Amino acid sequence: MDAQVEKPKKHFKLRMPGAFVILFILTIVAVAATWMVPAGSYSKLSYSHSSLQVTNPHGKVTTVPSTQKELDKLGVKINIKQFTSGGITAPVSIPNTYQRLKQRPASIGAVPTSMVEGTIEAVDIMVFILVLGGLIGVVKASGAFESGLLALTKKTKGHEFLLIFFVAVLMVLGGTLCGIEEEAVAFYPILVPIFIAMGYDSIVSVGAIFLASSIGTCFSTINPFSVVIASNAAGIDFTQGLTERIIGCIVAAGFVITYLHWYSKKVKADPKFSYSYDDREEFNSMWEIAPTGEDGKSKFTTRKKLILILFVITFPLMVWGVMSQGWWFPTMAASFLSFAIIIMFLTATGKNGLGETGVVDAFVKGASSLVGVSLIIGLARGINLVLNNGKISDTMLEYSSTLVAHMSGPMFIIVMLLIFFLLGFIVPSSSGLAVLSMPILAPLADTVNIPRYVVVTAYQFGQYAMLFLAPTGLVMATLQMLNMKYSHWLRFVWPVVVFVLVFGGALLVTEVLIN
């Protein structure tokens, strides 16, 4: 008999669907959940026109005086000044008011409807992203990126990780101080081409920007959109537990930067080690800006230097506006558009100018490249709309509060951490989850004789451990922007999720035992 040629074994390889398919599937799951999970709601408290308004689970609105006495009668342990000063703007859940409601199952028609309504609701950030894309398109067309990159790579040769280190540190600081996450998408276009030129991959790009900013937000110290609003809703001052949060943030930042250094070093030494090596060519073709030498086209002229300076200025200006002026996406979009107009003028004019048609086409092309990212954000919002319209989010919150009753302190806080981990998938908004859950769950700390700030810390750790993974959050938009597979991201980020849950859980138990 002839020797049989041994055929190579075929290994099963799990292929994750793309971002749009994942969100479509989750929308269907959310619709199905409205049929299975009992509907229910707490009464909600809001401040409007100098008075407090109580909306019961059936939608009936009652107006009461905006006094501390009325809040105490309602069992809402929040200082009235938090409402009157504008510190709390979203409706707050009122403890002990949960009622079962008639089931509100969503129809199959809710799938496309929620996608459209979610997109409409997310229009502010979508416009911001489209303007950002247009700005980037013009800067690329000017040749300023190409020339600046050539100059930068020469100066950083041999010290490439220093840039990743400084970017990660700045992102951690931005996260812990002001929750800069959604705004961080603005940094990819300026930093990703640099990371590619230094020999790194898409994982490093997301790690240095999204992961670092998210770990900072996870260990928020004075972030007004997370720890401050959660503390207000819990009826405590946000400075309680600040020392522990600072220590936690330093340790977490050290862990993430060390992890990035290990991974970056491996990829630098062997590109095939990259978790996203399969998509390397496609990723590089999308983001790489290949310098062509010191000819007239790539020469770093004064005009190009001015264009890059104007482009870079937009980012610290955005951070300043968010932190000190209360800017939100419409204002940030207007700021970016203002700089885009100036850069378009500089690019259109001059000896090698592109002219009016050239810069307008570049702006449109740049904006169109980020349409997919914008739609991802809208589709993720649609999932939350299905859950809210089905009135099942409050039911899950009520079940959670019942679960932790009468537990010992350490067990209570660990279960609370896991509850917030699960709730983070349902309510990915940090401020949204804070005002919905804190008035209900924070008072439970009193029953086991631990400070309420420990529950606030558990909320931060739990929700953000989930938001590293949850397609309902910012993850899918980030991955879509860099054309990265969700499976590649999971492979990289799971050790960070384990770290947050284990280290965060140990820190929480320590706080409980000390107090």
pLDDT of residue 404: 79
Please report the sign of the dihedral spanned by the C-alpha atoms of residue 320, residue 325, residue 329, residue 331. Answer: negative
pLDDT of residue 299: 67
What are the sequence ranges of the domains in the chain?
A: 40-102, 144-297+391-514
Closest by CA to 416, choosing from 508, 323, 280, 292, is 508
Q: Tell whether pTM > 0.85.
A: no
Q: How far apart are CA 130 and CA 211, in angstroms?
A: 23
CB 232 within 8 A of CB 257: no
Chain position carrying tokens 């590089």: 284
CB 478 within 8 A of CB 206: yes
Would strands 61-65 and 40-41 be described as parallel, antiparallel, or unpaired?
unpaired
The residue ranges of the chain whose pLDDT is under 70 are: 1-19, 86-87, 145-159, 182-183, 186, 288-300, 319, 322-323, 447
pLDDT of residue 9: 47
> What residues are paired with 64 via a beta bridge?
52
Q: What angle do CA 280, 315, 274 make, to 5 degrees?
A: 15
Q: How far apart are CA 87 and CA 262, in angstroms?
A: 41
Would strands 92-93 and 40-41 be described as parallel, antiparallel, or unpaired?
unpaired
pLDDT of residue 504: 94
Q: How far apart are CA 172 and CA 212, in angstroms?
A: 5
Q: How many other C-beta atoms lie within 10 A of the C-beta of residue 297? A: 11
511 to 243, 263, 403, 499, 508: CA distances (angstroms): 11, 32, 21, 18, 5
52 to 56, 57, 274: CA distances (angstroms): 13, 16, 55
Q: How many other C-beta atoms lie within 10 A of the C-beta of residue 56? A: 15
Is residue 325 classed exposed, middle or buried when 0-12, 13-18 and 19+ CB atoms within 10 A define those classes? Answer: exposed
Q: Which two tokens stand for residue 417?
A: 């951490």
Closest by CA to 391, choosing from 104, 107, 118, is 104
Number of Cα atoms under 13 Å in the Cβ half of residue 378: 23
Torsion of CA 243, 246, 247, 249, to 10 degrees: 160
pLDDT of residue 457: 93
